């Protein structure tokens, strides 16, 4: 009777061990990183890019021959600006030339044929166009997008990778392409100096850097 119970226990232990092994394999398969296509080296959509103004930008408004109407103003969180004789003007989402034409139209009620130039002196950009870096970067943050910005520029700005980063499994989520994901080889680029791993960014990109498993 004792031998039978011992045999039953051994069989039960064997079944449990087999079940644990199956679960472990399934778990590894379930948690393995999905593969994404490599990010294109050159982002064609950036060729026609024009900077648009966002909250936090600072605008230098120059009204020709009317220095009393010229000013330097911030774009408020609601996306509007206020300047001499111009109140509650929407600047967010427009280029500097478009804002200049809007100011000329507003000033035209008071000044004959105003000529306005608008220069952006501090760049933040609209939220939808900011490049965000999350995960195992030394300083995760958002960055204003700049034409021809590359992933190397981004990594310099955020201080590189942490000691726990799995840089070669990093991904870019590209809002401009319906949140399509691309893989990027940050470790090869930063640690190995492989310039072929450098790729262009697009407005609204999110760079996700996962933690490595050791």
State the pLDDT at residue 19.
Answer: 38
> The tokens of 189 are what?
């680029």
Q: Give the model's pLDDT for residue 176.
A: 93
Owning domain of residue 194? 38-49+127-209
What pTM value is reported for the model?
Answer: 0.78
Tell me whether residue 71 is in a domain. Answer: yes
| Residue 9 resides in a domain | no
Report how many domains make up the chain: 2
CATH number at residue 194: 3.10.560.10
CATH code of 103's domain: 3.30.1950.10
Q: Please check the confidence at residue 109 and state whether its pLDDT lies above 90.
A: yes
Gap between the Cα atoms of 7 and 29, Å rounded: 33
- pLDDT beyond 90 at 1: no
The torsion of the CA quartet 171, 174, 177, 180, rounded to 10 degrees, works out to 30
Is the model's pLDDT at 25 over the cut of 70? no
Question: Could you tell me if 118 and 172 lie in one domain?
Answer: no
Confidence label for 48 from pLDDT (cuts 50, 70 and 90): confident
What would the DSSP string read from start to end of 122-152? E----GGG-EEEEESBSS-EEE---TT-BHH
Predicted local distance difference test score (pLDDT) of residue 29 = 38
pLDDT at 10 over 80: no
């Amino acid at each position: 009777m004792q031998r039978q119970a011992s045999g039953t226990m051994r069989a039960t232990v064997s079944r449990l061990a087999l079940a644990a092994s199956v679960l472990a394999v399934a778990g590894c398969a379930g948690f393995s990183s999905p593969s994404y296509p490599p990010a294109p080296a050159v982002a064609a959509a950036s060729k026609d890019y024009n900077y648009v103004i966002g909250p936090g930008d600072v605008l230098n408004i120059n009204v020709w021959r009317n220095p009393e109407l010229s000013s330097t103003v911030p774009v408020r969180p609601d996306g509007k600006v206020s300047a001499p004789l111009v109140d509650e003007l929407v600047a967010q989402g427009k280029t500097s030339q478009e804002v200049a034409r809007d100011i000329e139209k507003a000033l035209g009620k008071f000044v004959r044929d105003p000529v306005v130039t608008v220069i952006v002196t501090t760049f933040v950009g609209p939220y939808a166009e900011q490049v965000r870096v999350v995960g195992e970067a030394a300083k995760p943050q958002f960055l204003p997008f700049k034409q021809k910005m590359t992933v190397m520029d981004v990594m310099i700005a955020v201080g590189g990778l942490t000691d726990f980063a799995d840089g070669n499994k990093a991904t870019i989520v590209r809002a401009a392409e319906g949140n399509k994901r691309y893989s990027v080889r940050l470790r090869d680029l930063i640690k190995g100096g492989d310039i072929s791993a450098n790729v262009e960014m697009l407005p609204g990109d999110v760079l996700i850097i996962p933690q490595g498993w050791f």
